[in-house]
Amino acid sequence: MNRIRVTIAGRVDRFFGEPVMNGDNFTTYPTPWPARHADEMLNPGFDYSRFHLGYWQKIDRALLYARDRDVIISLILDMDDNKVHPAAGSEDEYRYIRYAISRFGAYSNITWDVGNEMDRNRPGDWTHKTGTLIKAWDPYKHLASIHTFSEAYQDRTSEWFDFCSFQDWNRSQHAYILRERAAQEKLGRIIPQANEEYGYEDHYPMWAPQPDGESADTLRRCAWDIYMAGGYQTAGESAKRGTNVWPDTGGGWMNGRGDDTQTMFVGYSHIVDFFTSFEWWRTNPHDELARGGAYCLAKPGEIYAVYLPNRSAKTQERQRATIHLGPGTYEAHWFSATTGAIIPLPPAKGPDWTSPQAPDWSDWALLLLKQD
């Protein structure tokens, strides 16, 4: 885990069926400003002309703690529409944003998120104007984006806008990210495409894909789909253990706490192992180079990373892939997407190389690197 999304302002009193409650040690009622009634959801009585320094000092400590562990924090300036925030485009709003930038801008481990789902409560031109001001006010020019439902709020061609941050829960993430990359490329400005909300481990709201669309294994496979399309992702872990209710040992995606009942990120750690074993940043999606239902990232003639999702029934034949290679000989091995195990293979030669059958019926990856 190297990135966490954290809101500075914005309140919620909906927990989506999770065992979470407000309490002295954890609350979903942030207080960036002094409040007459801080424990009231919709009537805190904020004084937007001043700041609650104790609250901002907590964020200071969180940023320092994360920086020491090489973790980036995406600072979300506001979220949703609970009617408790400064008016759009007001001096109160600009004072708040300027203060956040002045206070946190010198931290090396932050990015700016103009807002979470702000397409629900801000006019269409607000994103462009606010994002442009953030880049002008930030002397360090941290990466910036906005997280929305609507793609219309993705300010794709503007200089302040450094990457797309989507929310999309479909279970065809590979095709989805490929489409977003193609849409961005047509605009003549290449920036990263990230789905920063596509599900949470064992979290089953009514809009989530059913019946197992939120299992740790399903979301792990979604992450592979995203990365193999040349995209990025953030996901949330299980929240089936309580916060401020017994047993008070969890919280998951609601507050970043958890225990050993959470298993999703174990599978994600294998993705890290696989991608850091080659120069992934030199590759691009090249599914046309692979057959057999496989996805392919490649720097043709040098690197071929292939993923076999294998969503078929176990009664069918185990998967194999045929890859169109450049000239030469390639070191090759299987990589288990479920366990991280590596199984060496004999050297591969082109132009078309067909792998052996996958070792079992789960999903596997292949890595082929050109021999010197």
The whole-chain average pLDDT of the chain stands at 93
Closest CA to 257 of 279, 235, 242: 242
Whether pLDDT at 307 is above 90: yes
Where does the chain have alpha helices with state H? 53-67, 91-104, 126-137, 173-186, 216-228, 264-275
Q: What is the pLDDT of residue 261?
A: 84
The whole-angstrom separation of Cα 289 and Cα 296 is 7
**Cα dihedral 231→234→238→239 (10° resolution):** -150
Q: What does the domain layout of the chain look like in residue ranges?
A: 3-273, 281-370
**DSSP secondary structure letters along 156-190:** TTSTT---EEE----S-HHHHHHHHHHHHHHTT--
If you count them, how many residues does the chain have? 372
pTM of this prediction?
Answer: 0.94
Query: Model confidence over 187-216: pLDDT tens digits?
Result: 999 999 999 999 999 887 777 777 777 899
Whether pLDDT at 312 is above 80: no
Classify domain 3-273 at the CATH superfamily level: Glycosidases (3.20.20.80)
Domain 281-370 matching CATH 1.10.10: the answer reads no
Instruction: List the single range of 134-143, 200-209, 270-279 with lowest mean pLDDT.
Output: 200-209
Query: Model confidence over 326-368: pLDDT tens digits?
Result: 999 999 999 999 999 999 999 999 899 999 999 999 999 999 9
Q: Is 67 helix (H, G, I), strand (E, B) or coil?
A: helix
Q: Is 148 helix (H, G, I), strand (E, B) or coil?
A: strand
What is the residue whose two structure tokens read 């082929």?
368
Query: Model confidence over 57-80: pLDDT tens digits?
Result: 999 999 999 999 999 999 999 987
Residues 87-99, mean pLDDT to the nearest whole number: 96
